[in-house]
Structure 1
Amino acid sequence: MNVGLIILVVVLIAAVGYVLGRRRAVASSEGDVRRLHSLPGYYGQTVFLFAAVPAFLVMILWLLLQPLYIDATVTGMVDPDQSADYSTRELIMSDVRRIATGLDIAVDLGQVSEADIGSMQAGETDIRQRLADVGVALGSSVDQTVFEAAKSYRNLSHTLSIAMAVVVIALALGGAAFAYGRINSAFRARNVSERAILALLMLCSLVAILTTVGIVLSLTFETIHFFRLYPASDFFLSLTWNPQFRGGSDLGIVPLLWGTLYVSFVALVFAVPVGLLAAVYLSEYASPRVRAFAKPAIEILAGIPTIVYGLFALIVVGPLLRDYFAAPLGIGSSSSSVMTAGLVMGIMLIPFVSSLSDDVINAVPQAMRDGSYGLGATQSETVRQVILPAALPGIVGAVLLAASRAIGETMIVVLGAGAAAKLSLNPFEAMTTITVKIVSQLTGDTEFASPETLVAFALGLSLFVVTLGLNILALYIVRKYREQYE
């Protein structure tokens, strides 16, 4: 049974339970709802929760574990001794899943009957043609073992899907019946409903944490697999990035990390002064009319898609820097350079710095300004010696947030800085970053289990550690210096 249909059935059962539970509560009060412990709606909510929540939890757990069980079972059929390496088994299982999907599509389109599937052979021309008609091409290397495994994969998937539907619907009915039977005038339905809402709020608050944990674990497992195939010392210490999918690769992160930090540094050198001075002007000098226009205008920059910034770097900024700076000075001849990507990325980061800094500066108590003016300080002296020191933790946090955003940028670097992994101090030379190479290593028809592909996860985990370190540093600075001004 389709998962969407199961969800619809469970929701209908829960909705009917809500209506019946509410009616039973009203009936148990003999028409006077004041005799009930809770409002009638709470009794309906209790039946709804008991019908839907256990059923959906079991369905989610089932959907997570079912693919693992099926893969383990079918893998034992195609490789009983587990003698093949990881990449070979993954390729075989990919063929198994593809053939199983093709059989499902062929049955849905009426090209193959369920009765015919059991007698099909991998070498039959007819079945190859039928699967080719639905977009599944069987290569000459597919043997009967793989084909039988695909049929078992399909049958096991269907059997477990039917079992899931039966179990989930039975749980929904059982939960609804259990909650319905407990309803009486003394039942504390409101407490049950409020505890369920509290649990929902706690679950929502854990979503970000669980998502982070999931990201870290997924990156970590694939990174460990990569380091089993490629030495960690070469990855972290090699000064060359030269992936060769036919062997002999040199996958050093140092050139990519240098390009990432270099481009981000150029962007911050441009964005921080401009953004900070804009924030000071808007908060301390601009009239309300100017501020009402200028602040939204600056924040519009944050809403422009990064691909648009990349095109702007490719078409306008790059040729401008090449023709008027790099070429006349003899230090570059390409429109793709660190300076191009850095300047355009700096424009993108201006609203991050200015908006957050403006909010922090406005949060400085007016009493500190008045006290500075009372001591005879001018407005500029007050800004330099009172307001900016008081707002320093928030400003540093805004800068580090912008740095994290710059480190993770991809499209501007692709179009503005090029794809050359090199170590150079010349800002008018083409370089690349970690994010660009993550995309390039996972793009195209490549073997997923090869070191040249798995290196993307090692790069991603390294980038995650760098940005996490910046965020921790920002929190440390904010917490350490904020106490001086509270």
Structure 2
Amino acid sequence: MPTYWLVLSLLVLAAVGYVLGRNRALQTAGGDTRALHSLPNYYGLNVALTSLVPALGVLIVWMLVQPVFVDSRVSTLIPDSAVPEDATLDLVMSDVRRVADGLDEAVEQGALTPSEARQLDAEATDIRARLGEVGVALGSDVRPEVLRAAQRYRQLTSVGKTAMSIVVAVLALGGLAWSYSQTHKDFRARNVVEKGVLALLVVAASLAILTTIGIVFSMFFETINFFGLHSWKDFFFGSTWAPNFRGDSELSILPLLWGTLYISFVALLVSVPIGLFAAIYLSEYANGATRSFAKPLLEILAGIPTIVYGLFALLTVGPMLADVFAKGGLLGVEWMTGATSVVTAGVVMGIMLIPFVSSLSDDIINAVPQSMRDGSLGLGATQSETVRQVVLPAALPGIVGAILLAASRAIGETMIVVMGAGAIAKFSLNPLESMTTITTRIVSQLTGDTDFASPETLVAFALGLTLFVLTLGLNVLALYIVRKYREQYE
């Protein structure tokens, strides 16, 4: 049974359980809701959640664990001689999965019968051509050991899906039957449902934390592999970024870090004053009609895809700056040789960040108690003095948080930098020169036909981990500033 049909069946079963549980509670109370311990809906929700949640949890865990288990079993079928010198077992297993998916597609389209797919012989049949007929493109001919592993992969996957469907169905039906049998008018359904919902909330919070931990560990272990192949001194203290997949690479993060911080600084120079002034105007000076029109219009900027901003930088802002600063332009000196530069990316990124600063700052300023404004005005201060000396100091922790959030967003931006700043990693104070950032290099190192056993590819994980530590540091700094200034107003 396909997974989506299994999920749909669980939802239908939960709906049926809700109706059955609610009706049974009413029947045991003789139709009088006053005789029930809880509202009728709680009895229905208890049966629905008991039949749905455990089965759905097992389904999710099974879908996560099964591929790992199947890979570990199938990988033992690949002899060391079948792994090329310039590849790894993981790359061979990716070919196995691709062939297995191709066989599934061929069976689904009717090009092969299930028995033919199980009995195919790579030496007697051109597997690549057969799969190409159904639209499955393979990069090379399928070797016999890869085909055998793919057939075994399909077999284990099929058995696993069947077992999963049986286990999930038994859990769902068993949960429904058990909770239905427990339903009567004195059953504390509300207490049980509220505890169950609380448990779901705890699980959701835990998943968010565990996801972050998983991301960090995945980058951490690959970073260790990178430093096993490349000197950490060159990475942290070198001065050149020059990857070469043929060897002798210089992979220093410092030029990339400089470009990242420089472009982000220019973006904040644009976004912070404009966004903060816009927030002050909308919250303190604009009337209701102006605010209701301007605030949504300003926040539209946050919904524009970053690739559109990148095109804007490439086709509009960059050429405009190049016309101004090119030879014969400003003062007759050639300040800028192309359309890509730090200023190009920084200005466009700053425009993108304006709604982040303005919207958050506006909410924080509006949260300042009106009594503080009234007290200042009552003592004779003007409105501008009230804003400068009362409102902004009281809202400063939130404003700092908004600025640091915008800084984190700027540090992690990719597409605007790719199209507006160029791809040159270097140290320079000239904002009219091309530079690049950490995120751009991560994309570049992981794009194309990459070898995950080479330092030129693994460096992407070291760059990612460094970027994570950088943004984490910004968040810690924000918490420190917020706590320091909040003490003055509480």
Q: Is the shorter-chain TM-score for this pair beyond 0.5, marking a shared fold?
A: yes
CA distance in 2 between counterparts of 1:40 and 1:351 reads: 46
More deviation, 315-324/382-391 = 382-391
Taking the aligned partners of 1:413 and 1:315, their CA distance within structure 2 comes to 14
Deviation at residue 128 of structure 1 after TM alignment: 4.3
Report if the CA contact (8 A) 2:356-2:406 is conserved: yes
> Which residue of 2 is the match for residue 51 of structure 1?
51
Q: Identify the range of structure 1 (336-345 vs 268-277) with the bigger mean alpha-carbon deviation.
A: 268-277
| 1:392 maps onto 2:404 in alignment | no
Moved more, 250-259 or 112-121: 112-121
1:330 maps to 334
In structure 2, what is the equivalent of residue 279 of structure 1? 279
Query: What is the rounded CA distance, in whole Å, between the counterparts of 1:354 and 1:32 in structure 2?
Result: 55
Matches of 1:372 and 1:410, distance apart in 2: 45
1:237 aligns with 2:237: yes
SS of the residue 1:342 aligns to: helix
Match for 2:446 among 442, 446, 456? 442
Q: Distance in 1 between matches of 2:472 and 2:341?
A: 27
CA distance, structure 2, for counterparts of residue 181 and residue 264 of structure 1: 62
Instruction: Tell me how far 1:426 sits from its aligned partner.
Output: 0.8
Residue in structure 1 matched with residue 465 of structure 2 by the alignment: 461
1:163-312 matched pairs, under 5 angstroms? 163-312=163-312
Alignment-mate amino acid for residue 406 of structure 1: A
Aligned positions of 1:426-441 closer than 5 A: 426-441=430-445
Q: Distance in 1 between matches of 2:143 and 2:303?
A: 53
Q: Deviation of residue 181 (structure 1)?
A: 2.2
Aligned to 1:475: 479
Distance change in 2, residues 1:46/1:358 (3 Å)? closer
- Deviation for aligned residue 1:105: 1.7
- Residue 258 of structure 1 and its aligned partner are, at CA, apart by 0.5
The number of equivalent residue pairs is: 486
The more displaced of 139-148 and 456-465 is 139-148
Q: 1:190 to 1:288 in 2, by over 3 A?
A: closer
Q: Displacement of 1:366 after TM fit?
A: 4.1
Q: Contact 2:376–2:386 (CA<8 Å) still a contact in 1? A: yes
Alignment-derived partner of residue 37 in structure 1 = 37
Structure 1: gaps (5+ residues): none
Kept after mapping to 2: 8 A contact 1:441/1:456: yes
Q: Structure 1 counterpart of 2:54, which letter?
A: P
Query: Using the alignment, how far apart are the partners of 2:196 and 2:131 within structure 1?
Result: 49
- With structure 1 as the length reference, what TM-score do the two structures score? 0.91
One-letter amino acid of the counterpart of residue 335, structure 1: A
Task: Give the C-alpha shift of residue 316 in structure 1.
Answer: 2.2
CA distance in 2, matches of 1:400, 1:484: 21
Partner of 1:66: 66
Q: How big is each residue's C-alpha offset from its partner over 1:91-132, in whole Å with a ceiling of 9 and x where there is no partner? A: 211121112112212222222223334432211235443223
- For residue 422 of structure 2, give the secondary structure of its aligned residue in structure 1: coil
Q: Is the 8 A contact 1:331 1:426 kept in 2?
A: no
Q: Which moved more, 1:415-424 or 1:27-36?
A: 27-36
Report how far residue 360 of structure 1 moved: 3.0
User: Gaps spanning 5+ residues in structure 2: where?
Assistant: none
Whole-angstrom CA distance in 2 between matches of 1:454 and 1:40: 58
- Residue 451 of structure 1 aligns with an amino acid whose one-letter code is P
Superposed CA RMSD in Å reads 2.7
Q: Could you state the TM-score of these two structures normalised by the residue count of structure 2?
A: 0.90
Inter-CA distance 86–166: structure 2 relative to 1 (3 Å threshold):
farther
* Between 265-274 and 349-358, the greater mean CA deviation after superposition: 349-358
Question: Aligned equivalents of 1:44 and 1:367: distance in 2?
Answer: 48
The aligned counterpart of 1:343 is 347
Q: Which amino acid aligns with 1:22?
A: R
- For residues 402-417 of structure 1, what are the structure 2 equivalents within 5 Å? 402-417=406-421
Letter in 2 for 1:144: P
More displaced, 421-430 or 367-376?
367-376
Q: Please give the alpha-carbon distance, in whole angstroms, between the structure 1 residues aligned to 2:264 and 2:183.
A: 62
Deviation at 1:336, TM superposition (A): 0.7
Alpha-carbon distance in 2 for matches of 1:276, 1:29: 61
Segment drifting more, 209-218 vs 312-321: 209-218
Amino acid at match of 1:310: G
Map residues 355-366 of structure 1 onto 2, 5 A cutoff: 355-366=359-370
Contact preservation (8 Å) 1:76, 1:82 = no
1:374-385 map, 5 Å? 375-385=379-389
1:287 shift after superposition = 4.5
CA contact (8 A) 1:87 1:450 kept: no
CA distance in 2, matches of 1:113, 1:103: 10
Paired amino acid for 2:486: R
- Match of 2:247, as an amino acid? G
Inter-CA distance 288–104: structure 2 relative to 1 (3 Å threshold): closer
Deviation at 1:82, TM superposition (A): 12
Change (3 A) 1:408 1:35: same
Correspondence for 1:451 = 455
Q: 1:429 to 1:313 in 2, by over 3 A?
A: same
Please tell me the residue identity of whatever aligns with 1:393.
P
Please give the alpha-carbon distance, in whole angstroms, between the structure 1 residues aligned to 2:346 and 2:127: 56
What SS class does the counterpart of residue 77 from structure 1 fall into?
A: coil
User: 2: distance between equivalents of 1:187 and 1:373?
Assistant: 59
For residues 183-223 of structure 1, the C-alpha deviation after alignment (integer angstroms, 9 at most, x for no partner) is 33332222222222222233344453333233323332333
Q: 2:114 — aligned with what? A: 114
Q: Report if the CA contact (8 A) 2:111-2:134 is conserved.
A: no
Greater CA deviation, 118-127 or 455-464?
Answer: 118-127
**Is the 2:279–2:358 contact (alpha carbons within 8 Å) kept by the matching residues of 1?**
yes
Partner residue, 1:78: 78
- Paired amino acid for 2:342: V
Q: Which residue of 2 aligns with 1:158?
A: 158
